């Protein structure tokens, strides 16, 4: 089973790897799945975040046309909002 990433690694915003040739690369790789990691940091400018959605939709539609399912995963955990105080999801039971 082969999953090929289609987003450009290490970017704050969703960009397709291989520029305009990304779909040709996916076709040549013949993967079982394509995957993207999306960073959704609330500290990033809202307008810029929303610009990622049309690009993601375009990529998803093109992959669907090839019959390649798309896996969308969360980006780096460091992009989650900062919290003040302990995270209640990580609290340990007392006693």
User: What is the residue-level pLDDT of the chain in tens, covering all 95 positions?
Assistant: 899 989 888 887 778 888 889 999 999 999 999 998 877 667 777 777 777 788 888 889 999 999 999 998 765 554 444 344 444 444 444 44
Provide the number of structural domains found in the chain: 1
Q: pTM (2 decimals)?
A: 0.67
Whether 90 is covered by a domain: the verdict is no
Q: CA–CA distance from 60 to each of 15, 34, 54, 57, 84 (Å)?
A: 13, 9, 10, 5, 37
Domain range for 9 is 3-32+39-79
């Amino acid at each position: 089973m082969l999953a090929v990433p289609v987003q450009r690694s290490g970017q704050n915003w969703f960009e397709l790897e291989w520029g305009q040739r990304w779909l040709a690369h996916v076709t040549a790789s013949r993967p079982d799945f394509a995957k993207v990691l999306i960073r959704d940091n609330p500290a990033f400018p809202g307008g810029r975040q929303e610009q990622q959605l049309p690009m993601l939709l375009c990529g998803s539609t093109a992959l669907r046309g090839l019959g390649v399912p798309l896996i969308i995963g969360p980006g780096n955990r460091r992009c989650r909002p900062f919290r003040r105080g302990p995270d209640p999801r990580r609290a340990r039971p007392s006693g």
